[in-house]
Structure 1
Amino acid sequence: MLFIASAAIFVAAVVPLLMYTAGYRLTSELKITKTGGLFITAPQVNSDIFVDNIFKKKTNFLQNNLFIQNLTPRSYSVLVAKEGYWPWFKKIEVEPKMVAEARAFMVPQDPKWDIIANGRKFVSIQISPDQKTIAVLDEKGNGNYHLIFYLAETNSILAEDDGQTKSALSFPSKNINLLWLDNKTFVQSRTKIAEAALDFEKKTV
């Protein structure tokens, strides 16, 4: 009888440990599930990465990312912060047997951005899929709107080549749709479709 009791205690202690080691967790609904992971990339050196308000890592020249595995599947709050930049925050869903990836989009707190905003009324902001370019729609008054392209990582505005480009990026409505392609952006409004060729080396559009 004593042997049976000891065996039962041993099994009760070892089985959960083996399941934990194999990457299984007990959820808040008391369900057993396979774990997942998080992979966060911070483009700026010396960025602080927080997960659920807990500091996890400061990036450096050699390692600009954070990888956490064996996470219980659920939503996690990720914050990336660096002095001189606006904090980046995102809710990321971790799923069983999957690694959720995200790249922090860091916008400098720089006077150049203040110059862009000075005297302007932004009605919409759209970010490119690679999270490198910000398209800002500025209300000019009298029902007219103008599109500006801003590069966050180099902290610069793409200059307009000529008056024709400026006219092409002006719209009579704030209801526009952007289609981002490699070095090109198509802008559709109710009255026209404009093509903007983005030259990142010359910083022109």
Structure 2
Amino acid sequence: MTRQNRRIIFLIFLLIFIILVPMVIFYSEGYSFDWEKRTIVVSGGMYLKSYPPKADIFVNNKLSGKTNKFVRRLVPKVYEVKISKEEYHPWLKTITVEPGLVTKLDNIFLVPLNPKILLVASESQEYKSFVEKPYSLDNLTEIIKKKSKYVIFKIENINVDKSGKKIYFLSNNNLYSIIWDENNPENSTLSGVLVPNVLNYTIYKDGIIYLDYFTGKIFELDVSSLKSAEVFDRVFPSFNQGKWALSDDNKKLLCQKDKSVEILWLADENDGSVMRKKGDVEQIDLGQTIVDVLWYPKTDQHLIIASEDSILFTELDNQLPRNTVKFINTEKPEIKYDADNKILYFFSQERLYQTEL
């Protein structure tokens, strides 16, 4: 080999070194090449976690592995993401990847395509606990009227605490409670007025959260001291009517409307893809009459909704499209979720059914 050939080989390797070393350094620092813009950019990524796991991940129609997975080195731009698994409804979302950031999507819930539905025997304990209550409304009303020092015209908005013994209710916009004696209702203990001028309320942590009639503001009641504290310094007029339901994490308050639900954030929350601030309100329109709504406690980011002809499952994530799935077709169902056993019960046409969810 001549000296000239050796020089040529040396220069070739030197040139390769000069080109490759910066590329390796850029790659190790999280840079990628954007072929569309023909420039070097700081890459981003997305973490995808689904229930159940091991679902296929498609990013812009390209298979990118299975959940749960961190998809790395994505050029910053908008991506169409699809999560699919056999025997489940697909999950779709339009995601914007930002430079140097990871978009976290860890509440992807895949709804079964053909859920296994079982009829619950009418003589079973599950049937009795769903259908039967420790009190009848007539009996409860009668006992309250007997024990009250005030005139009780109508009892409404009844809520039972976790013990199943303390019952809260509204009458004439006043909030009361009664410690119910199931064996001997006559021995039940009725409180005085806990809070006057209440438009709406629900049980919150160890107390009550309620909407004040005159100010239109939301307060938290300490049931031990009967002292109230303002939760927000502004009003929420749309929450004065409709069923209230609190998420299990106590961070979100739902108000059920005729064909929509409104969610009020009681605390800051970052679910990985969307940052919510205390006081944020979001409306989810269903376009059909809502019979009942439950929080799905596994995530506290999904709702189980009973409509007039079906049971729906939807998500809070407002990045488009919002995934709303018709889970079960059934007429005007009453719904109840058993979080311990992960079973959804629904009562329709005088029969009780159950399915895993």
Could you tell me the TM-score, scaled by structure 2's length? 0.32
Counterparts of 2:116 and 2:260, CA distance in 1: 17
Matches for 1:43-62 after TM superposition, within 5 Å: 43-59=51-67
* Consecutive unaligned residues in structure 2, runs of 5 or more: 118-257, 266-270, 272-283, 307-315, 317-334, 346-357
Structure 2 counterpart of 1:21: 28
Alignment match of 2:95 (pick from 88, 92, 95)? 92
Give the letter aligned to residue 29 of structure 1.
K
Give the letter aligned to residue 101 of structure 1.
K
Give the letter aligned to residue 74 of structure 2.
L
- Identity over the aligned pairs, expressed in percent? 30
CA deviation after TM superposition for structure 1 residue 51, in Å: 2.1
- 1:30 maps onto 2:38 in alignment: yes
CA deviation after TM superposition for structure 1 residue 53, in Å: 1.9
Counterparts of 1:152 and 1:30, CA distance in 2: 45
8 Å CA contact 1:124, 1:137 repeated in 2: yes
Counterparts of 1:127 and 1:51, CA distance in 2: 31
8 Å CA contact 2:48, 2:69 repeated in 1: yes
- 1:138 maps onto 2:288 in alignment: yes
Structure 1 counterpart of 2:78: 75
Aligned residues: 143
* Consecutive unaligned residues in structure 1, runs of 5 or more: 60-64, 114-122, 140-145, 160-178, 180-197
Structure 2 counterpart of 1:101: 104
8 Å CA contact 1:79, 1:87 repeated in 2: yes
CA deviation after TM superposition for structure 1 residue 79, in Å: 1.1
Give the letter aligned to residue 106 of structure 1.
L
CA deviation after TM superposition for structure 1 residue 148, in Å: 3.1
Q: 1:21 to 1:83 in 2, by over 3 A?
A: same
CA deviation after TM superposition for structure 1 residue 98, in Å: 0.4
Q: Which has the larger radius of gyration?
A: 2
Query: Does 27-36 or 92-101 show the bigger shift?
Result: 27-36
SS of residue in 2 equivalent to 1:16: helix
8 Å CA contact 1:26, 1:33 repeated in 2: yes
CA deviation after TM superposition for structure 1 residue 89, in Å: 0.7
CA deviation after TM superposition for structure 1 residue 110, in Å: 3.6
CA deviation after TM superposition for structure 1 residue 72, in Å: 1.7
Counterparts of 2:294 and 2:25, CA distance in 1: 52
Q: 1:41 to 1:30 in 2, by over 3 A?
A: same
Structure 2 counterpart of 1:42: 50
CA deviation after TM superposition for structure 1 residue 105, in Å: 3.1
Counterparts of 1:68 and 1:109, CA distance in 2: 27
Query: Which structure is higher in RCO with an 8 Å CA cutoff and minimum separation 6?
Result: 1
8 Å CA contact 1:34, 1:96 repeated in 2: yes
8 Å CA contact 2:81, 2:92 repeated in 1: yes
C-alpha root-mean-square deviation of aligned residues, in Å? 4.4
CA deviation after TM superposition for structure 1 residue 36, in Å: 1.2
CA deviation after TM superposition for structure 1 residue 33, in Å: 1.6
Give the letter aligned to residue 14 of structure 1.
V
